[in-house]
Structure 1
Amino acid sequence: MKMKRFTFFILMLAATVHTVFGQREAKAQAILDKTAAAYQKAGGIAITFGGTQQGTLLLKESCFYLDCAGIKSWFDGKTQWSYAQTDEVTLSTPSPEEIQSVNPYALITSYKTKFNYRYIGSKNRNGKQGQEVLLTPRQTGDVKSITLTVSAAYEPLYIGISLSNGETQEFNITSYQTNRNLSISDFRFDKKKYPNAEVIDLR
């Protein structure tokens, strides 16, 4: 009788855990869906961030411009330009994984196919209360997990990227401006502004 009761308890516990994780997954997906929808409606976005590194980020649809750690990167949806202080600019056609490593916001449009996710709970970031979701890649790679905290308006407050080598990159969003008037030229390298830059084409 004791064994039967013990087995029944284990089965009930397993069912409860499965239900809780199912609820956490459903809540995480709802948060990510609303965050993605808010991102799509935001138009041009200008962001400043601190944390592991400080910088600025411009976004519009699949395009981005990133100025961080002495490197400026432009991506117009197809070609990426990376300019270093050594006065060199490298042209490449990056893979989606490479784009994600440079632009953390790429996860907002790829979470459904490339990540498992679950709801962690309420979290205070930068003095603002938000909802936190943990994403883990479905395939093994450089990224071990990603922690995303979003505000009540479903705007990211914090992105933490845990790497397989044990390092963690943290991005605390200090300013988030939407509906900025950005054109495709904002996401392409302008040779006129860097006349002495050596161009290295890796495409």
Structure 2
Amino acid sequence: MKKYVLTGLLLSGITFSGMAQTKQVSDPKAKTVLDGVSSRFKTLKSVVANFVLKVEGANNSVADSKKGTVYMKGSKYKVTMDGQEIISDNKTSWTYAKDVNEVTINNVDQSSGAITPAKLFTNFYDKDFLYRLTPETTEKGKVLQNVEMTPTDKSKNIFKVIVSVDKKAQNIAKMKVFEKNGNRYTYEITNFTPNAAVTDATFLFDPKKYPGVEVVDLR
């Protein structure tokens, strides 16, 4: 799987139309867990989180595994992962590929249903998912509250997402995405630093730092 796809999944792969096709009601206990994550995140001035993205094929084979870091401040974010960067100041987005030394610039679509890193930690779940609380698990000494989420629009390729929340810290510890074709994508947060020293310049692409970069401006 191409590395561009891996980064894209983190930012925009979980996109749903919001077309409710069922009148089922979500589990209020699951909503309490998710609301706790959202409320805590909104109190933070900034966040720096390290993560590991693991891609598994339909036969349980690990097709790829990559480490990365995400920087967040309000609705702004920057993701770095193995020679790639995605930066957004919530107005403009820059996608940089190191191997070809190229940056693609786009306007941010405010009406898009894409889940950005900031949305992931807030209440992105209310409109486009049904969700229920499943049994707690313990991993690496942490008690995880697991919420199984299914999109209301059943036509999408993604049919299930499991969000695992660190019960004590009220942070998302892991998220696993299931596709109808059998592929699975697991994002594990390995380190979460609240109120880190992150400047606004972090969320702007400075071409001076990338000598000879080719700019593809799609705005």
Alpha carbons 1:125, 1:157 under 8 Å: kept: no
Equivalence map 1:114-193=2 (5 Å): 114-139=128-153, 140-151=155-166, 152-193=168-209
Which residue is equivalent to 1:5? none
The 3 A distance-change label for structure 1 pair 75 and 31 is: same
5+ residue gaps, structure 1, are: 1-20
Tell me the C-alpha RMSD between the 2 structures.
Answer: 2.0
Alpha carbons 1:87, 1:196 under 8 Å: kept: yes
Return the match for 2:75 from 59, 62, 78.
Answer: 62
Deviates more, 1:185-194 or 1:132-141: 132-141
Whether 1:77 and 2:90 are equivalent positions in the alignment is yes
Whether 1:106 and 2:119 are equivalent positions in the alignment is yes
Superposition deviation, residue 184 in structure 1: 2.3
The 3-state SS of whatever aligns with 2:27 is: helix
Structure number with the bigger relative contact order (C-alpha 8 A, sep ≥ 6) is 2
Q: Once the two structures are superposed, what CA deviation does each residue of 1:114-145 show, in whole Å capped at 9, x if it has no partner?
A: 21111112022343111011112222334322
The 3-state SS of whatever aligns with 1:120 is: strand
The number of equivalent residue pairs is 179
Superposition deviation, residue 74 in structure 1: 0.2
**Equivalent residue letter for 1:128:** K
Deviates more, 1:31-40 or 1:64-73: 64-73
Paired with 1:129 and 1:33, the residues of 2 have a C-alpha distance of 18
Runs of 4+ in 1 over 4 A off after TM superposition: none
Paired with 2:141 and 2:106, the residues of 1 have a C-alpha distance of 39
Identical columns (%): 28
Return the match for 2:104 from 64, 83, 90.
Answer: 90
Paired with 2:76 and 2:132, the residues of 1 have a C-alpha distance of 28
**Equivalent residue letter for 2:161:** I
Which residue is equivalent to 2:43? 41
5+ residue gaps, structure 2, are: 1-23, 55-65
**Equivalent residue letter for 1:149:** S
Taking structure 1 as the reference length, what is the TM-score of the superposition? 0.80
**Equivalent residue letter for 2:197:** N
Higher helix share: 1
**Equivalent residue letter for 1:79:** T
Query: Over alpha carbons, which structure has the higher Rg?
Result: 1
Return the match for 1:196 from 212, 216, 219.
Answer: 212
